Structure 1
């Protein structure tokens, strides 16, 4: 990936501003959810169902098997669910995803905060 600095000022959109979809990463690390993994998956499935009643949802998944499981748990939705094979340490999208900001000229830029998983606690993330 090539690092490019935004031209001019950028602005992070507010949570309530119009957007094309909501991004999530699906839970997969059972160590992060001791005794609650199945409940976490059920909660995520319900969250996706509610969001997908109003807009598309993009979900990062670990593998093809994971993709199949996620689709089965979520079931049919009004708006599309798009899954992406993107390895993550777990469901914390705010930690491992880029943050999109608006450029002054109207374009979008992705900001990478170079998150290091709490000082390297979860290698290789």
Structure 2
């Protein structure tokens, strides 16, 4: 993987724009939190990235084996930890399409577990913050 740079801009209100150069992602806060609710909150977007990555791995597994993906679905449920107020448990369900070969059931789970974004929870990066 190559280096990645993300520049953050503030287009108004509670909106935050993460600019990758060739594309950008807008976030906002809920109305309850003082925003307009016009875009996902960063925390939701964070776990949406996990879910999308998991889905990508499930989709790629099926496509690489020419398995019909009609009905393939990945659901991610994030449960908070009452003590820390952070997400404490992430439950992932892969709904397999009709006719999915039984011989691949465990393999598709292993493929989804290999998700690049999920791996960052297992091997978290080091963060360094400084004001310039």
- TM-score, normalising length: structure 2: 0.22
Higher relative contact order (CA 8 A, sep 6+): 1
- Would you tell me which structure has more helix in proportion to its own residues? 2
Greater C-alpha Rg: 2
- TM-score, normalising length: structure 1: 0.23
- Would you tell me which structure has more strand in proportion to its own residues? 2
